[in-house]
Amino acid sequence: MAAFLPTMRVAAILLAAGQGRRFSAQTASPVAKQYLTLGGRPVIRHAADALIPHVQILQPVGERASLDEALSGLRAPSGCTIAPCVPGGETRQDSVRAGLEALDRLPEGEKPDLVLIHDGARPYVPAEVTRAVIDALSAHGGAIPGVPVADTIKRVRDGVITDTVPRTDLYRAQTPQGFRFGLLRDLHRGAAASDATDDAALLETAGHHVAMVAGSEDNIKLTYKEDLVRLERLIGPTLLPRTGLGYDVHAFAEGRPLILCGITVPHTRGLAGHSDADVGIHALCDAIYGALAEGDIGRHFPPSQNEWKDADSARFLVHAGERIRARGGMLINADLTLICERPKIGPHAQAMRERLADLLQVGVDRISVKATTSERLGFTGREEGIACTAAVSVLVP
Ligand SMILES: Nc1ccn([C@@H]2O[C@H](COP(=O)(O)OP(=O)(O)OP(=O)(O)O)[C@@H](O)[C@H]2O)c(=O)n1
Ligand SMILES: C[C@](O)(CO)[C@H](O)COP(=O)(O)O
């Protein structure tokens, strides 16, 4: 191995172009399984992190915007390149071929000698499994990891067992599967219409030897929701996106300061209300409580309680932010629109964003504050009050 590895250029094709139909059918997840968050990072990101120490080129295959986001901040060790992602195809085999062709377009001298094909939906491949695959390629055209089948295997037709299949030489195939680059490229070019579910099958059919090395029971492919439960035990909880909407209105009142989104805005009048009447924070709190399905601001801070009279609404927002964290979640972003003719919000929008971000303990890039008039129509148009809408996205286990 010591003599073999340093002379070989190894690439990994990371597959992420699947739709995860089996998983979505069970869970109705709006997010493709490879982009679900496990332990704070997307599934595909775990897979990339696991592969990258072993390769000189990482070639992601899938939809560019999703992959760029999921892999953002991924640092390649020196001597390793993360190639621009290429779109996948209709089948897994089409996607592998797209990755191989992208690698083949590299200039001579930069093309890999060996290629690993890895499911982006396998986030927990142990380093020793990847090493064993690469090592086995010193003696074989292909090598794949697998685990021996432990259960008794039955063939069943129409609900009735037809026979018992001897299991002594049966293995469950995993990835990364490793190959001589030129060999796999040529076999894929000649096998466009085959329905192989893995890459080793192409070599087997063509009569090449493929070595089986020790896989791992932890090298789980996220296929069904039961797999997610097992992966969560290994890596951490899955965060799913949720959305909340909030809306609030307060009437203008003489003799009160105007508090909007946590800051005092110079104006001729303030807003009337039981608390400080911060219409922006109230709409934002309702959006957060809505995303968590935890009622509304009135449930947490009833206007009937004197305790909240003239209260600083910043306290309400701190509470809403704490509720996200208490649920093990995180705020993705919040977008507020203040609706008023006057005062002009633009000059204060940045200070409002910073204050809200501070109260929620998130980066200011996650908070948007904008404004519109209602073209002098309705109560906001007549300057009787200010309205605010808020939308938030959160990730929650
Ligand atoms: N056209 C496809 C199909 C699959 N894959 C990738 O191949 C890996 C393994 O495939 P599988 O688990 O079958 O994924 P899906 O095809 O997404 O799942 P399903 O069959 O349930 O739709 C996954 O990382 C998947 O994203 C791909 O890149 N292109
Ligand atoms: C390549 C693979 O991961 C080996 O187990 C598998 O074949 C992927 O596709 P499948 O459709 O989930 O079998």
Residue 140: which CATH number?
Answer: 3.90.550.10
Q: Are residues 73 and 203 in the same domain?
A: yes
pLDDT tens digits, 332-368 = 999 999 999 999 999 999 999 999 999 999 999 999 9
Give the C-alpha separation, 340 to 384, whole Å. 9
C-beta 138 within 6 A of ligand 1: no
Give the domain-ending residue among 236, 265, 292. Answer: 236
Same domain, 148 and 202: yes
Counting the structural domains of the chain, the total is 2
Ligand 2 in reach of 175 Cβ (< 6 A): yes
For residues 246 and 309, membership in a common domain is answered with: yes
Q: Which of 191, 214, 236 is the last residue of a domain?
A: 236
Q: Which pLDDT belongs to residue 308?
A: 82
User: Mapping DSSP to helix (H, G, I), strand (E, B) and coil, where does residue 233 land?
Assistant: helix
The span from the CA of 228 to the CA of 239, in Å, is 11
Please indicate, yes or no, whether residues 92 and 192 belong to a single structural domain of this protein.
yes
> pLDDT for 79-109, tens place per residue?
899 999 999 999 999 999 999 999 999 999 9
Q: What ipTM does this complex have?
A: 0.94
Of ligand 2's atoms, which has the minimum distance to the CA of residue 177? Answer: 1
What pLDDT score does 6 carry?
Answer: 66
Rg of the chain, C-alpha, whole Å: 28
Q: pLDDT averaged over the chain? A: 94
Cα–Cα distances in angstroms (integers) from residue 303 to residues 116, 255, 281, 312, in the given order: 62, 21, 15, 13
Q: Which domain holds residue 229?
A: 5-236
pLDDT of 2 > 80? The answer is: no
pLDDT digits (tens, 9 = 90+) for 194-230: 789 999 999 999 999 999 999 999 999 999 999 999 9
Q: Which distant-in-sequence residues (6+ apart) come within 8 Å of 298 by Cβ?
A: none
The string of pLDDT tens digits covering residues 291-340 is: 999 999 999 998 888 888 888 999 999 999 999 999 989 999 999 999 99
What tens digit of pLDDT does each residue of 254-282 get?
Answer: 999 999 999 999 999 999 999 999 999 99
Last-in-domain residue among 218, 236, 254: 236
Owner of token pair 């069904």: 224
Q: Are residues 138 and 17 in the same domain?
A: yes
pLDDT band per the 50, 70, 90 thresholds, residue 4: low
Global confidence as pTM = 0.70
Q: What is the dihedral of CA 297, 299, 305, 310, to 10 degrees?
A: 0
Report the residue among 198, 203, 222, 223 best suited for mutation to probe ligand 2: largest number of ligand atoms under 8 A from its CB: 198
Ligand 1 center from residue 92 Cα (angstroms): 6
Domain harbouring 365, CATH code:
3.30.1330.50
Q: What percent of the chain has pLDDT over 90?
A: 87
